[in-house]
Structure 1
Amino acid sequence: MFKPDCSTQSPGIDVALRVQVGWIDEVPRWRLGMILKYVICEESFRDKTAVTLCRTNLQAAIAKYAAIPVRFEEVSRNSPAHFRVVYMDQPLEGSSTTLARAFLPNNEAAEQRTLHVYGLAFSDKYIQTQISILAHEVGHILGLRHEFASWKEAEWSVTYGRPNNHSIMNYPPVHVTEQDIRELQSFYFDEMTALYGRPVRIYAPCESVYPRVNNLGSVMPLFAALSALIWPRSVPDVSKPHAYVEVP
């Protein structure tokens, strides 16, 4: 059994695997085999071109996790879904250098499951890396914490396996690695009910029809602190509930 490195790990695993998981007092994940339905709130985007780009890049990001036993399916705008994708020019609060923001598995109110994509992700500087940006956020949605969460973030986490400096959950995110996939598969197939004294929570929220939003977006998700994708040049201020740093 691997020893905790303040990230997630599973008893009994004897291969070199690692994911960084856990949040406050639990280890959240989706029900095995679940299909996560999502809607893209097209009305929140600046134009159809941005909608098409985001849709295409999100599909490409999701495809990188095809081997994971949790699926994603886009549904039509007014169909019931488990989460939504919303565009905003900038976050309602915090840093204007945030690229995107997602959530961890949860069973809270529907608005707590929102993938926000911000205007900066469509800028000339980052548009070519938007697939990697979204792949990082999909990692959060599947339950992954930042690779550096154990030593840079205040919220509790535990390590599942060994470090992966090239993980998609590191900064800057580049590729979903084979190790990322092996770790995540192992995490979902493990039948553990607790991890280092923290319960493993299985979530399967009800579907909801999301109301219309505008360019101001919506209420910030409860678990947003973990999933603000910022390309840091310094260590975040972990004394605050949301850690923001400057884009280089």
Structure 2
Amino acid sequence: MICDTESRGYKRNPAELQLNATEGFIPLWSEGSILRWRFQEQSLSNFESPNEVKAKIEELFALALEAWGDAVPVSFTRDDDAWDFQIVVQEVERCNAARACVLASAFFPDAGRHDLVIYPTLFKQDLSEQIETIAHELGHVFGLRHWFAPQSEPDYPAEPFGSQDRRSIMNYGPDSQLTEKDKQDLKDLYSRARSGKLKEINGTAIRLVTPFHTLRELANSVIFK
């Protein structure tokens, strides 16, 4: 699996669950956050059966969310108007000279609008790899960096949290597995951050953020008061 959310290479060394801190703080979703999403219809227009592609992607997302179980810190709902992210399906593969191909890319928590991109190579993988890829991308959406971020991406700060285990859904290759430790660490992180018991990690502040649509609704309420 290759993910393009952080396309800066890697090497595998033991590390903990890594949190995004590239903006000088650790962004996590506030309690009760609902991420509204849509398909970018234009990206599907060149497929023979766009509805079949949509159904396949929705199935993969449902299975990936089921795999994360009760560790999932946000809810998702489809909304073609007031959306926070859109699923873009690329028609052309993105591979390097060694034929290592990007399968997908996502985003980290913040109040902006984003794309979650899926490349056609994903659909050539077996079902378990497809589910693991989407589960990996959801890890980024939840605020997780690549497992190897501290060693290979020093210019893009990350902070460790939780148990040490090279087997993690945020790793690559055979060690990319969604484990009970992944899920428990994510649950503990959000529980402690949202309760106020955890306000910083290694001196880096945690900031709870809300999705784009909430700011839009707030702006509209101010305008119409």
Q: Same fold (TM over 0.5)?
A: yes
**2: CA distance between counterparts of 1:88 and 1:171?**
22
Aligned runs of 1:99-178 on 2, under 5 Å?
99-108=103-112, 110=113, 113-123=114-124, 125=125, 129-154=129-154, 155-172=156-173, 174-178=176-180
**Matched pairs, number:** 187
CA drift of 1:81 comes to 2.2
Equivalent residue, structure 1, for 2:82: 80
Change (3 A) 1:94 1:141: farther
3-state secondary structure, aligned to 1:29? strand
Higher-helix-fraction structure: 2
Q: Does 1:56 align with 2:59?
A: yes
TM (normalized to structure 1)? 0.67
1:205-238: CA deviations, max 9, x gaps? Answer: 2319xxxxxxxxxxxxxxxxxxxxxxxxxxxxxx
Equivalent residue, structure 1, for 2:204: 198
**2: CA distance between counterparts of 1:157 and 1:87?**
29
Contact 1:20–1:159 under 8 Å retained in 2 = yes
Equivalent residue, structure 2, for 1:232: none
Equivalent residue, structure 1, for 2:17: 19
The list of structure 1 runs, each at least 4 consecutive aligned residues, that deviate by more than 6 angstroms after superposition, is 91-96
CA drift of 1:159 comes to 1.0
Contact 1:57–1:130 under 8 Å retained in 2 = yes
What one-letter code is carried by the residue in structure 1 that aligns with 2:21?
W
Segments of structure 2 that go 5 or more residues without pairing to the other structure are 1-15, 215-225
Contact 1:89–1:120 under 8 Å retained in 2 = no
TM (normalized to structure 2)? 0.73
3-state secondary structure, aligned to 2:35? strand
Over the residues paired in the alignment, what is the CA RMSD in angstroms?
2.6
Percent identical among aligned pairs is 25
CA drift of 1:196 comes to 1.7
**1: CA distance between counterparts of 2:127 and 2:60?**
10
What one-letter code is carried by the residue in structure 2 that aligns with 1:152?
S
Change (3 A) 1:49 1:19: same
Equivalent residue, structure 2, for 1:237: none
**2: CA distance between counterparts of 1:144 and 1:180?**
10
Change (3 A) 1:52 1:69: closer
CA drift of 1:97 comes to 1.7
What one-letter code is carried by the residue in structure 1 that aligns with 2:52?
T
CA drift of 1:41 comes to 2.6
**2: CA distance between counterparts of 1:88 and 1:98?**
11
CA drift of 1:90 comes to 4.1
Contact 1:27–1:199 under 8 Å retained in 2 = yes
CA drift of 1:69 comes to 5.6
CA drift of 1:66 comes to 3.0
Contact 1:35–1:70 under 8 Å retained in 2 = no
Equivalent residue, structure 1, for 2:13: none
Equivalent residue, structure 1, for 2:68: 65
Change (3 A) 1:69 1:119: closer
1:111-157: CA deviations, max 9, x gaps? Answer: xx21100111122x456521110000000000011111111223111
CA drift of 1:183 comes to 0.3
Q: Does 1:189 align with 2:188?
A: no
Change (3 A) 1:127 1:42: farther
Change (3 A) 1:159 1:56: same
